[in-house]
Amino acid sequence: MEHFFSIPLTPGGVILATLCVLAGAPLFARGRAAWNLRWRLARLATEPLVPESHGVVRARGRVLLDGPLFAPLSGLPCAGFELYVRGSGSAVGGVVRDLRQFRLEGEATTALVSPMNADWHLPETARRIVAVDERLPERLSTLLDTRAEIRWLRERGVALELVERALCAGAEVSVLAVAQTQVSESFQVEEELAATGTDGAFSAPRLVPGPEAEGPQLKLVTNGELERAQVFADPADARYEGPAAWQVLLLFLGPALSFAGLLYLAQLAEPFLKRRV
């Protein structure tokens, strides 16, 4: 062993080597999942949303609002917006977001898109510079005060640069997510039934169906394979490669760590092997 190692055995080294061995498998699994997803996304075409959509898809369609919402600068009806704010001539600033669920209208069907676990790539819809002494509408002023950094700038009399990005109603977008068919749910209740013999009444479970869906109901969600959905509106056909390349490197780093840890720990068995020889 001394021909290969010059690192002495220490309690700390043994603990570190053990951790490397244990970390190798999950790192390998994460790297493999990242590689598989990048490989799959590279071959995934953008197609119109259809009732038969299932699994990981990149569906194209129009934005239908699921509730009223208006962008703070342009006043356009939208499904969500991001308001980027920074001080004029300053790097201090923040982002105010309000992203809500919407429906993606495709061919003969719609799908519900949730903002949870999703990244929205939005186009710029308005830009404005707010002077120090300018009076703001109440709604805009309330939005800006939700971020501590922006309040700090306003309290110190700094002019603000505002950039609005919004997902407007009717916009053509594509959504990368997992398509699932929504089915009615059932829940169990206890119902007292009359006995047919002489043992008296007894309770038995009964399944009660939930409200029936009006035709095929789709949801675009996430799962273990695709942890974050992507909404592309700037532009709708934007290229997306998937997980970062460094995550793919874990495919090789995991086994390397485990192998290095095992080689170090193998030195513990060297004295016992010499005795047997």
pLDDT digits (tens, 9 = 90+) for 152-171: 888 888 899 999 999 999 99
Residue 201's pLDDT is 46
Residue 21 has what pLDDT?
Answer: 86
pLDDT of residue 208: 45
pLDDT value for 30: 83
Query: Quick one: CA torsion of 45, 50, 54, 55, rounded to 10 degrees?
Result: 30
In this prediction, residue 232 carries a pLDDT of: 95
CA dihedral 207, 213, 215, 218 (to 10 degrees): -100
The pLDDT value given to residue 275:
60
Give the whole-angstrom CA distance, residue 143 versus residue 153: 14
- DSSP E strands in the chain: the ranges are 46-48, 55-65, 78-87, 93-99, 102-105, 110-113, 118-121, 124-130, 160-168, 172-182, 186-193, 202-209, 217-221, 229-232
* pLDDT confidence bin for 134, thresholds 50/70/90: confident
In terms of pLDDT, which residue wins out, 161 or 277?
161
Mean pLDDT comparison of 28-37, 86-95, 99-108, highest-scoring range? 99-108
Stronger pLDDT, 85 or 205, i.e. the higher one: 85
Interstrand relation of 202-209 and 217-221 (parallel, antiparallel or unpaired): unpaired
Give 231's strand partners: 120, 175
Rg (CA), the chain: 29
Give the pLDDT mean for 215-236: 86
Q: How far is CA 223 from CA 60, 117, 185, 242, in A?
A: 20, 10, 20, 15
- pLDDT-based confidence at residue 251 (cuts at 50, 70, 90): confident
For 182-197, what is the mean pLDDT? 50
Q: Which residue has the higher pLDDT, 191 or 263?
A: 263
pLDDT tier at 53, thresholds 50, 70, 90:
confident
